[in-house]
C-alpha cells in the first residue's frame, strides 16, 4: 500500500439502490490490486446518526442524546465525522494493504448531503438499473409485495395500509424506488461521478470496469479480462448479495427476467411509483413500452408525485420516530415504578424509625442518612426523566397522529385523481 503519514485515505462511494447490482460491481472492481471493497460498511449512516441510542439504554436515551447534541453543537461536527471516518477507512486500508477503499452501501441515497459535506472530494460511482428489474428482484429475493392479496395492484388504500402495518424493512424497500431513485437520478450531474448502467456492465464487463478504473486513477491492465474472482469474503459477512457466491461468470440472464417475473398489475404498481417520465429520463423507454403493450397505463406525473409525497410523510415520521428522545418501552410502568420506589425510599420514612433501625451509633445513622438522601436524589432524577420521557412520547404520539392525518389527506387526493376519467 502506498501512502503517507497524515494523508486522508482514498475513499470512493459506490451508490445504487438495493438489488441494483452494487455487490457485483464492487466485487469486480476490488479484483484490482489497489482496491478493497468491504461488503457494506454503512459507516457514514452511523456517523450521521451519531448520538442516537437505543431507547432501552440504562443511562437514559434522552439524556445521552441531549448531552451529545449540546456538546457537539459547540464544535464542527463535520470535522469530527471526517476524522473518525478517516481513521476507520485508513485502518481498513492498512490491514488490507490496498490504496483505495470503495464504500458500497445502497442506502447512502438517504445521506447524499452528509457524504458531500464530509468527503466533498471523494469520487462517486453511480449504478443505475431498470426499475422493473429492481422490483422483480425485490419480489423474488426478499419477498417484497408488489401486489395485494386480491390479485389487484397495490392501490392507494392498500399502500397506506402497508405503511401503517407492515415492518419498516418492507416499506423501506419500496421507498428506495419511490424516493431513492429520483435522488440518485439527480445525483448523476455531480462532478467526479461516474455513471454505470447495469445492463451495459453485464453486457460488456471488461470495457466498463476498465473505464471506471481509469476514472479512479488505477491501471486497467492490472485486472485480468473476463475475470470473475471468487467471493469467499462474502461468506463471513451478513451483507451483500449472496447470489454472487453461486456465479462463475458475468452474464445477462437477469436483464430481461423481469418480463416473466412481474404480472401486469405489478408492472402497473412500479410504473405508478417510479413514473413514466423518470423511466424515459433514465433510458428505459423500451422497457416502459413493453409494459404498456402488456396493458400498463401511464397515469400521469401527478399520481407519481403524490405517491412520493405519501412516502415522504412516512419517511419523515419514521426518521423523527428513530431520533426522538424516547423512554423505555413501557413509559407508564416506568413512571409508576419510579414513584413507588421513591415513596418507599428512606427519605420518605420517619427519621426516628431510621435511627431506631440503625441502633445507637450516630455515625451509622448519619452515614445511612447520607446514603438515603443520595438514593432519594437519584430516584427523583429518574422520576423526572421518566416524566419528561412520557411527555416526549405524548408529543411524539401527537406528531404521529398529525402525520397519519396528513397521509390520509394525500390518500384522498390521490384516489380522487385515480378515479377521475382521463380524457383521451
Radius of gyration of the chain (CA): 28
Distances (CA, A) of 348 to 172, 250, 356: 50, 74, 15
Query: For 194-214, how does the pLDDT look when each residue is reduced to its tens digit (9 = 90+)?
Result: 999 999 999 999 999 999 999
Residue that has been written with the C-alpha cell 406525473 in this structure: 301
Q: For the beta carbon of residue 235, count every other beta carbon within 10 angstroms.
A: 10
User: In this structure, what DSSP letter does residue 180 have?
Assistant: I
**Residues 262 and 146: beta-carbon distance below 8 Å:** yes
277 pLDDT above the threshold of 80? yes
DSSP code of residue 423: P
Look at the pTM and tell me if it is higher than 0.85. Answer: no
Cα-based distances in Å from 215 to 122, 124, 125, 166, 226: 12, 10, 10, 42, 20
CA dist 274 and 296 (Å) reads 13
If DSSP codes are grouped into helix, strand and coil, which group holds residue 11? strand
Confidence (pLDDT) at 224: 75
Are residues 159 and 272 in contact, defined by beta-carbon separation less than 8 angstroms?
Answer: no
pLDDT tens digits, 344-397? 444 433 444 434 434 444 455 455 445 445 544 544 555 455 556 656 666 666
CA distance 334 to 382: 9
CA distance 389 to 128: 43
- The band of 275, judged by pLDDT with boundaries at 50, 70 and 90, is very high
The C-alpha cell at 243 is 447470489
Q: What phi and psi, each to the nearest 5 degrees, are found at residue 354?
A: -65, -45
How far, CA to CA in Å, does 41 sit from each of 245, 269, 277, 375, 410? 19, 32, 33, 43, 36
Output 225 or 281, whichever has higher pLDDT: 281
Q: What is the pLDDT of residues 73-112, one digit of tens each?
A: 899 999 999 999 999 999 999 999 999 999 999 999 999 9
Q: How far is CA 247 from the centre of its chain?
A: 27
**Per-residue pLDDT tens for 128-154?**
999 999 999 999 988 888 865 544 444
C-alpha cell at 152: 389487484
d(CA 71, CA 207): 50
Instruction: For 106, list phi and psi in degrees, rounded to 5.
Output: -55, -35
pLDDT higher than threshold 80 for residue 191: yes
- Tell me what pLDDT residue 248 has: 76
User: Nearest 5°: CA angle at 99, between 96 and 100?
Assistant: 95
HSE at residue 161, side-chain half, CA atoms within 13 A, is 9
Residue 179: pLDDT above 70? yes
State phi, psi for 275 to the nearest 5 degrees: 100, 135
User: Strand 100-104 relative to strand 35-36: parallel, antiparallel, unpaired?
Assistant: parallel
Q: Dig out the grid coordinates for 94 from the structure.
A: 492498512
Q: Provide the pairing of β-strand 100-104 with 10-15.
A: parallel
Outline where 294-361 has alpha helix (H): 301-323, 331-343, 351-357
Contact present, 9 and 90 (Cβ < 8 Å): yes
Q: Which residue has the cell 423500451?
A: 286
Amino acid at each position: 500500500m502506498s501512502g503517507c503519514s497524515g494523508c486522508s485515505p482514498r475513499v470512493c462511494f459506490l451508490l445504487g439502490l438495493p438489488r441494483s447490482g452494487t455487490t457485483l460491481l464492487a466485487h469486480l472492481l476490488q479484483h484490482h490490486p489497489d482496491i478493497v471493497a468491504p461488503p457494506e460498511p454503512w459507516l457514514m449512516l452511523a456517523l450521521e446518526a451519531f448520538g442516537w441510542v437505543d431507547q432501552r439504554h440504562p443511562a437514559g436515551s434522552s439524556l445521552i442524546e441531549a448531552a451529545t447534541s449540546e456538546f457537539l453543537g459547540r464544535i464542527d461536527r463535520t470535522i469530527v465525522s471526517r476524522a473518525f471516518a478517516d481513521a476507520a477507512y485508513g485502518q481498513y486500508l492498512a490491514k488490507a494493504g490496498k490504496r483505495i477503499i470503495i464504500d458500497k452501501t445502497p442506502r447512502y441515497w438517504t445521506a447524499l448531503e452528509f457524504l458531500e459535506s464530509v468527503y466533498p472530494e471523494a469520487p462517486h460511482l453511480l449504478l443505475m438499473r431498470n426499475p422493473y428489474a429492481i422490483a422483480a428482484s425485490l419480489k423474488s429475493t426478499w419477498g417484497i409485495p408488489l401486489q395485494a392479496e386480491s390479485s389487484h395492484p397495490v392501490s392507494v388504500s392498500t399502500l397506506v395500509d402497508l405503511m401503517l402495518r407492515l415492518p419498516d424493512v418492507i416499506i423501506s424497500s419500496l421507498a428506495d424506488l419511490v424516493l431513492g431513485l429520483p435522488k440518485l437520478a439527480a445525483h448523476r450531474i455531480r462532478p467526479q461521478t461516474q455513471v454505470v448502467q447495469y445492463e451495459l456492465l453485464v453486457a460488456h464487463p471488461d470495457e466498463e470496469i476498465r473505464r471506471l478504473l481509469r476514472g479512479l486513477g488505477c491501471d486497467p491492465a492490472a485486472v485480468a479480462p473476463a475475470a470473475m474472482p471468487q467471493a469467499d469474503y462474502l461468506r463471513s459477512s451478513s451483507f451483500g448479495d449472496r447470489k454472487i457466491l453461486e456465479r462463475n461468470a458475468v452474464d445477462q440472464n437477469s436483464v430481461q427476467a423481469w418480463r416473466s417475473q412481474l404480472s401486469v398489475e405489478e408492472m402497473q404498481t412500479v410504473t405508478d411509483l417510479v413514473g413514466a417520465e423518470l423511466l424515459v429520463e433514465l433510458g428505459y423507454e423500451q422497457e416502459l413500452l413493453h409494459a404498456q403493450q402488456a396493458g400498463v397505463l401511464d397515469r400521469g406525473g401527478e399520481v407519481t408525485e403524490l405517491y412520493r409525497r405519501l412516502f415522504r410523510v412516512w419517511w419523515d415520521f419514521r426518521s423523527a420516530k428513530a431520533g426522538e428522545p424516547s423512554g423505555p418501552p413501557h413509559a407508564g410502568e416506568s413512571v409508576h415504578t419510579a414513584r413507588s420506589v421513591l415513596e418507599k425510599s428512606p427519605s420518605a420514612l420517619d427519621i426516628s424509625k431510621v435511627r431506631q433501625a440503625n441502633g445507637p451509633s450516630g455515625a451509622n445513622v448519619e452515614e445511612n442518612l447520607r446514603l438515603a438522601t443520595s438514593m432519594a436524589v437519584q430516584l427523583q432524577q429518574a422520576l423526572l426523566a421518566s416524566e419528561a420521557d412520557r411527555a416526549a412520547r405524548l408529543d411524539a404520539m401527537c406528531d404521529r397522529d398529525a402525520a397519519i392525518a396528513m397521509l390520509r389527506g394525500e390518500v384522498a387526493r390521490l384516489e380522487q385523481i385515480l378515479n377521475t376519467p382521463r380524457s383521451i
